[in-house]
Amino acid sequence: MKRMILLFSHRLTPKQIEDAKERFGIKTFVYLPKHLQEVWSGLDPKEASIKGQLKPILDYIRANTSEEDIFLVQGDFGAVFIAVSLIKSLGMKAYYSTTKRVYNTVHLDKGLLKNTHLFSHEIFREYEDL
């Protein structure tokens, strides 16, 4: 059964789910267990190294995935680099979601600005080596 393992801080959108099923034949979407999701989504931005924080997630990847799985990896830049490096070293593929962004600014009273950002999934792009 083709699975997409999600190292991702949000829930997938319907458009992402549809794209993954059509493009990759994904049957199952696997979110991290709650305690690991809290680690992925809550890395301490003041820590000089995050390897220790990521160790349980990296152990989870090693113990609970196979070469048939693909990964959606987005988040803290350093965490993404470490996770994608591991995933690729294990012979698996990692992707990220590209988005179309629409930006709008509305000028309000008293010099206030209201900015709105709309994001729409476009494709999954594979993390590539040089």
Q: How many domains does the chain have?
A: 1
Q: How many Cα atoms within 13 Å fall on the side-chain side of residue 84?
A: 19
Q: Does 130 fall in a domain?
A: no
Q: Are the C-beta atoms of residues 24 and 70 closer than 8 Å to each other? A: yes
Q: Around Cβ 25, how many Cβ atoms within 10 Å?
A: 10
Confidence class for position 1, pLDDT limits 50, 70, 90:
confident
Q: Is residue 102 part of a domain?
A: no
pLDDT of residue 130: 86
Is residue 105 in a domain?
A: no
Q: Global pTM? A: 0.87
How does pLDDT run across 15-41, given as a tens digit for each residue?
A: 999 999 999 999 999 999 999 999 999
In-domain check, residue 49: yes
Whether 111 is in a domain gets the answer: no
Three-state DSSP at 128 gives coil
H helices of 1-130, in order, are 14-24, 34-41, 51-64, 77-89
Q: Is residue 125 part of a domain?
A: no
**Structural domain includes residue 8:** yes
- Hey, which residues does 72 pair with through a beta bridge? 6, 95
Range of the domain at 48: 3-97
Parallel, antiparallel or unpaired: strands 93-107 and 113-126 = antiparallel
DSSP code of 109? G
Residues 40 and 32 sit within 8 Å (Cβ to Cβ): yes
110 by DSSP, 3-state: which? helix
* pLDDT single digits (tens) 50-93: 999 999 999 999 999 999 999 999 999 999 999 999 999 999 99
Q: Which of 18-22, 95-99, 105-109 has the lowest mean pLDDT?
A: 105-109
Query: Looking at the domain assignment, is residue 73 inside a domain?
Result: yes
d(CA 71, CA 82): 13
